[in-house]
Structure 1
Amino acid sequence: MFKFFKNVAREMRKVSWPKGQELTRYTITVLSTVVFVAVFFAIVDLGISEVLELISKE
Protein backbone atom coordinates (compact mmCIF):
# COMPACT_ATOMS: atom_id res chain seq x y z
CA MET A 1 0.00 0.00 0.00
CA PHE A 2 2.92 2.36 0.73
CA LYS A 3 4.25 1.70 -2.77
CA PHE A 4 0.86 2.58 -4.26
CA PHE A 5 0.76 6.00 -2.54
CA LYS A 6 4.38 6.62 -3.49
CA ASN A 7 3.49 5.97 -7.14
CA VAL A 8 0.42 8.22 -6.86
CA ALA A 9 2.58 11.05 -5.49
CA ARG A 10 5.09 10.57 -8.31
CA GLU A 11 2.34 10.70 -10.95
CA MET A 12 0.74 13.78 -9.37
CA ARG A 13 4.02 15.66 -9.78
CA LYS A 14 3.80 14.98 -13.54
CA VAL A 15 0.35 16.56 -13.82
CA SER A 16 0.16 19.89 -15.61
CA TRP A 17 -1.92 22.03 -13.25
CA PRO A 18 -3.72 25.11 -14.63
CA LYS A 19 -2.49 28.57 -13.70
CA GLY A 20 -4.68 31.03 -11.79
CA GLN A 21 -6.05 32.92 -14.80
CA GLU A 22 -6.65 29.69 -16.69
CA LEU A 23 -8.47 28.19 -13.70
CA THR A 24 -10.68 31.27 -13.41
CA ARG A 25 -11.58 31.07 -17.09
CA TYR A 26 -12.44 27.36 -16.81
CA THR A 27 -14.53 27.99 -13.69
CA ILE A 28 -16.51 30.74 -15.38
CA THR A 29 -17.06 28.53 -18.43
CA VAL A 30 -18.34 25.64 -16.32
CA LEU A 31 -20.61 27.82 -14.18
CA SER A 32 -22.12 29.61 -17.18
CA THR A 33 -22.72 26.28 -18.93
CA VAL A 34 -24.44 24.87 -15.85
CA VAL A 35 -26.65 27.96 -15.54
CA PHE A 36 -27.53 27.85 -19.24
CA VAL A 37 -28.46 24.15 -19.11
CA ALA A 38 -30.49 24.64 -15.91
CA VAL A 39 -32.46 27.53 -17.43
CA PHE A 40 -32.96 25.61 -20.68
CA PHE A 41 -34.39 22.56 -18.92
CA ALA A 42 -36.53 24.74 -16.64
CA ILE A 43 -38.08 26.39 -19.70
CA VAL A 44 -38.59 23.02 -21.42
CA ASP A 45 -40.17 21.62 -18.24
CA LEU A 46 -42.47 24.63 -17.94
CA GLY A 47 -43.48 24.27 -21.58
CA ILE A 48 -44.23 20.56 -21.26
CA SER A 49 -46.20 21.19 -18.06
CA GLU A 50 -48.31 23.85 -19.77
CA VAL A 51 -49.01 21.62 -22.76
CA LEU A 52 -50.05 18.74 -20.50
CA GLU A 53 -52.27 21.09 -18.47
CA LEU A 54 -53.98 22.31 -21.65
CA ILE A 55 -54.54 18.72 -22.79
CA SER A 56 -55.94 17.61 -19.44
CA LYS A 57 -58.44 20.53 -19.31
CA GLU A 58 -60.08 19.51 -22.58
Structure 2
Amino acid sequence: MKEVAEEKPKRSLFKKDTDSKETAEKSAAKAVSKDKKDAKPKKKRFQFFRDVKAEMKRVTWPTRQDVARWSVVVVCALIFFGVYVAVLDNLIATPLLVFVSGLGA
Protein backbone atom coordinates (compact mmCIF):
# COMPACT_ATOMS: atom_id res chain seq x y z
CA MET A 1 0.00 0.00 0.00
CA LYS A 2 0.97 3.56 -0.48
CA GLU A 3 2.17 5.48 2.46
CA VAL A 4 0.37 8.72 3.00
CA ALA A 5 2.76 11.59 3.44
CA GLU A 6 1.93 14.23 5.99
CA GLU A 7 0.45 17.21 4.32
CA LYS A 8 1.91 20.49 5.40
CA PRO A 9 -0.35 23.45 4.94
CA LYS A 10 0.79 25.73 2.18
CA ARG A 11 1.96 29.06 3.46
CA SER A 12 1.31 32.13 1.44
CA LEU A 13 3.69 35.05 1.34
CA PHE A 14 1.03 37.45 2.54
CA LYS A 15 -0.84 35.38 5.15
CA LYS A 16 0.17 35.16 8.78
CA ASP A 17 1.29 31.91 10.33
CA THR A 18 -1.60 30.29 12.19
CA ASP A 19 0.44 27.55 13.85
CA SER A 20 0.25 28.31 17.57
CA LYS A 21 3.49 26.49 18.40
CA GLU A 22 5.51 28.56 15.96
CA THR A 23 3.95 31.83 17.08
CA ALA A 24 4.66 30.98 20.71
CA GLU A 25 8.32 30.31 19.89
CA LYS A 26 8.56 33.55 17.95
CA SER A 27 7.05 35.62 20.75
CA ALA A 28 9.40 33.98 23.28
CA ALA A 29 12.39 34.80 21.07
CA LYS A 30 11.23 38.43 20.78
CA ALA A 31 10.91 38.70 24.57
CA VAL A 32 14.44 37.37 25.05
CA SER A 33 15.88 39.80 22.48
CA LYS A 34 14.01 42.71 24.09
CA ASP A 35 15.51 41.79 27.50
CA LYS A 36 18.99 41.79 25.98
CA LYS A 37 18.47 45.28 24.55
CA ASP A 38 17.22 46.65 27.86
CA ALA A 39 20.04 45.10 29.90
CA LYS A 40 22.93 47.16 28.50
CA PRO A 41 25.88 47.23 30.82
CA LYS A 42 26.76 50.64 32.17
CA LYS A 43 30.30 50.36 30.82
CA LYS A 44 29.12 50.49 27.20
CA ARG A 45 27.10 53.67 27.65
CA PHE A 46 30.10 55.97 27.40
CA GLN A 47 32.20 53.75 25.14
CA PHE A 48 31.65 56.11 22.20
CA PHE A 49 33.22 59.01 24.07
CA ARG A 50 36.21 56.89 25.11
CA ASP A 51 36.67 55.85 21.49
CA VAL A 52 36.53 59.48 20.35
CA LYS A 53 39.14 60.46 22.93
CA ALA A 54 41.43 57.62 21.82
CA GLU A 55 40.99 58.58 18.17
CA MET A 56 41.76 62.25 18.86
CA LYS A 57 45.08 61.21 20.39
CA ARG A 58 46.05 59.55 17.10
CA VAL A 59 45.34 62.65 15.00
CA THR A 60 48.35 64.41 13.49
CA TRP A 61 47.78 68.07 14.28
CA PRO A 62 49.35 70.81 12.12
CA THR A 63 52.05 73.01 13.60
CA ARG A 64 51.44 76.67 14.40
CA GLN A 65 53.63 77.60 11.42
CA ASP A 66 51.53 75.45 9.03
CA VAL A 67 48.30 77.01 10.28
CA ALA A 68 49.68 80.54 9.84
CA ARG A 69 51.02 79.77 6.35
CA TRP A 70 47.75 78.27 5.08
CA SER A 71 45.71 81.04 6.69
CA VAL A 72 47.69 83.59 4.68
CA VAL A 73 47.10 81.57 1.49
CA VAL A 74 43.33 81.47 2.14
CA VAL A 75 43.09 85.21 2.89
CA CYS A 76 45.07 86.05 -0.27
CA ALA A 77 42.81 83.82 -2.37
CA LEU A 78 39.70 85.47 -0.89
CA ILE A 79 41.03 88.96 -1.67
CA PHE A 80 42.00 87.97 -5.22
CA PHE A 81 38.64 86.43 -6.07
CA GLY A 82 36.75 89.27 -4.37
CA VAL A 83 38.53 91.83 -6.54
CA TYR A 84 38.04 89.63 -9.62
CA VAL A 85 34.27 89.38 -9.08
CA ALA A 86 33.97 93.10 -8.30
CA VAL A 87 35.77 94.04 -11.52
CA LEU A 88 33.75 91.55 -13.53
CA ASP A 89 30.51 92.89 -12.06
CA ASN A 90 31.20 96.64 -12.24
CA LEU A 91 33.15 96.87 -15.50
CA ILE A 92 31.59 94.12 -17.61
CA ALA A 93 28.23 92.80 -16.37
CA THR A 94 26.54 96.03 -15.25
CA PRO A 95 27.37 98.07 -18.40
CA LEU A 96 26.31 95.15 -20.56
CA LEU A 97 22.95 94.89 -18.77
CA VAL A 98 22.39 98.66 -19.04
CA PHE A 99 23.13 98.50 -22.76
CA VAL A 100 20.79 95.53 -23.34
CA SER A 101 17.95 97.07 -21.32
CA GLY A 102 18.33 100.37 -23.20
CA LEU A 103 17.76 98.73 -26.57
CA GLY A 104 14.04 98.23 -26.01
CA ALA A 105 13.30 101.81 -24.90
TM-score exceeds 0.5: yes
TM-score by length of 2: 0.49
Shift of 1:43: 1.7
**Which residue number corresponds to residue 5 of structure 1?**
49
Higher helix share: 1
Whole-Å separation in 2 of the counterparts to 1:37 and 1:9: 39
Whole-Å separation in 2 of the counterparts to 1:2 and 1:40: 51
Whole-Å separation in 2 of the counterparts to 1:32 and 1:15: 28
**Which residue number corresponds to residue 100 of structure 2?**
55
| Percent of residue pairs bearing the same amino acid type | 31
Give the residue type in structure 2 aligned to 1:48.
Answer: A
Gaps of 5+ in 2: 1-44
Shift of 1:16: 1.0
Gaps of 5+ in 1: none
RMSD: 1.5
Runs (4+) off by over 4 Å: none
Shift of 1:52: 0.6
Larger radius of gyration: 2
Count of residues in Structure 1 that have an aligned counterpart in Structure 2: 58
TM-score by length of 1: 0.79
